[in-house]
């Protein structure tokens, strides 16, 4: 078959597919942790699947702000000065920095909880301007239901988050709306930098029945510090992202961030092919997985019900 196709091409019976034009995609994230790294890799691989390949017709630039909003702003300004074909910020702080830095270069954000609340777009259905992207708003009702199923006697949930991250503030507000009807009381512990995470976790000891770590970039990047406190004090710790479960959380229902990267790449390709970002609706991330870690649960003094393990997409061994 391949011999026939080669001969046909030589005779001009059909045209070879056109090579995608050379493009530069500049990607930035507020911090490095497994979920955001997976999103970055999904973006790169999704572009490759669409014909934009690193070293051939794609220059793929990546920089992280290492958790510093001021650095995120510097990276955004640098990218704008370099004038890439498109900028892809991962996480709310990076997206805010990039959107503030340019009104001309196309921007496709990803892993942003509340793009309207973060003032990235005024209307998710009709973004307008040069911006669109993918939202990773957590399935919070499912998270609360999971906590109730695994720890049915729990009444108080301690939530560790960075009040400086707009995405986390939005999540906390939504959690407050859902917690009461679900039978829970929330207790907040703020960590404005990774070094504060362990102390924030310690402040919850004796005050809460379980600890919940939302998709907060600051806290997730220092997850092990919270896990250590949870293990030492037999407090079950749940997470909002599935990549945190192999790192020591008991369980999570969440998105596969590599898949989110692929979904983001689909939008990036549309823009590269000529669509205006502002005409592309913001996409809600698709597909949720249940991931459980029975060994982590044992360290925190609980046993995950067999019914939960049985329906899990992944059981961490």
Distances (CA, A) of 221 to 69, 122, 266: 15, 30, 27
Both 178 and 117 in one domain: the answer is: no
Both 261 and 113 in one domain: the answer is: yes
Both 212 and 303 in one domain: the answer is: yes
- Using one digit for the tens of pLDDT, what is the confidence trace for 253-299? 999 999 999 999 999 999 999 999 999 999 999 989 999 999 999 99
**Strand ranges (DSSP E) for the chain?**
23-29, 58-64, 86-90, 107-112, 131-135, 156-161, 185-190, 210-213, 237-239, 251-255, 283-284, 288-292, 314-315
Both 222 and 181 in one domain: the answer is: yes
Q: Which one, of 232, 158, 231, lies nearest residue 200 by Cα?
A: 158
Sort 192 into a burial class: Cβ within 10 Å, 0-12 / 13-18 / 19+.
middle
Both 146 and 57 in one domain: the answer is: no
Tell me whether residue 5 is in a domain: no
Both 39 and 148 in one domain: the answer is: no
Tell me whether residue 10 is in a domain: no
Residue tagged 């220059």 (tokens): 59
Distances (CA, A) of 272 to 133, 262, 299: 14, 15, 49
Tell me whether residue 11 is in a domain: no
Both 144 and 70 in one domain: the answer is: no
Which two three-digit tokens encode residue 4? 């026939």
Binning pLDDT at 50, 70 and 90, where does residue 41 land?
A: very high
Binning pLDDT at 50, 70 and 90, where does residue 5 land?
A: very low
Tell me whether residue 2 is in a domain: no
Tell me whether residue 270 is in a domain: yes
- Using one digit for the tens of pLDDT, what is the confidence trace for 147-191? 999 999 999 999 999 999 988 999 999 999 999 999 999 999 999
In CATH, what number is assigned to the domain containing residue 90?
3.40.50.2300
Q: How far apart are the first and last CA of the chain?
A: 45
Both 96 and 208 in one domain: the answer is: no
Calpha distance 96→218 (Å, rounded): 16
Tell me whether residue 220 is in a domain: yes
Q: Which residues span the domain enclosing 86?
A: 21-137+256-287
What is the arithmetic mean of pLDDT over 69-78? 97
Binning pLDDT at 50, 70 and 90, where does residue 14 land?
A: very low
Domain count along the chain: 2
Both 185 and 264 in one domain: the answer is: no
Tell me whether residue 194 is in a domain: yes
Both 283 and 304 in one domain: the answer is: no
Both 127 and 196 in one domain: the answer is: no
Which two three-digit tokens encode residue 139? 């399935």
Predicted local distance difference test score (pLDDT) of residue 16:
36
Both 58 and 130 in one domain: the answer is: yes
Tell me whether residue 15 is in a domain: no
């Amino acid at each position: 078959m391949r011999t026939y196709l080669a001969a046909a091409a030589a005779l001009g019976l059909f045209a070879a597919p056109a090579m995608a034009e050379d493009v530069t995609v500049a990607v930035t994230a507020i911090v490095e942790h497994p979920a955001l790294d997976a999103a970055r890799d999904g973006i790169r691989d999704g572009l490759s699947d669409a014909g934009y390949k690193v070293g051939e017709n794609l220059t793929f630039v990546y920089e992280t702000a290492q958790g510093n909003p001021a650095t995120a702003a510097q990276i955004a300004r640098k990218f704008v000065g370099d004038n890439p074909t498109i900028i892809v910020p991962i996480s709310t702080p990076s997206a805010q920095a990039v959107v503030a830095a340019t009104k001309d270069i196309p921007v496709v954000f990803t892993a942003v909880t509340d793009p309207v609340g973060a003032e990235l777009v005024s209307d998710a259905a009709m973004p307008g301007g040069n911006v669109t992207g993918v939202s990773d708003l957590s399935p919070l009702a499912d998270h609360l239901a999971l906590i109730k199923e695994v720890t049915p006697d729990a009444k108080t949930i301690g939530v560790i988050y960075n009040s400086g991250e707009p995405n986390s503030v939005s999540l906390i507000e939504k959690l407050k709306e859902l917690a009461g009807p679900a039978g829970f009381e929330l207790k907040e512990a703020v960590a404005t930098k990774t070094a504060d995470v362990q102390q924030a976790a310690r402040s919850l000891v004796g005050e809460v029945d379980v600890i919940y770590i939302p998709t907060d970039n600051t806290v997730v990047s220092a997850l092990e510090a919270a896990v250590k406190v949870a293990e030492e004090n037999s407090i079950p710790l749940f997470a909002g992202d599935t990549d945190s479960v192999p790192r020591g959380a008991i369980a999570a229902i969440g998105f596969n961030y590599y898949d989110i990267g692929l979904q983001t790449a689909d939008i990036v390709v549309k823009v590269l092919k000529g669509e205006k970002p502002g005409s592309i609706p913001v996409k809600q991330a698709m597909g949720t997985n249940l991931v459980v870690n029975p060994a982590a649960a044992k360290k925190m003094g609980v046993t995950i019900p067999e019914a939960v393990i049985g329906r899990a997409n992944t059981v961490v061994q």
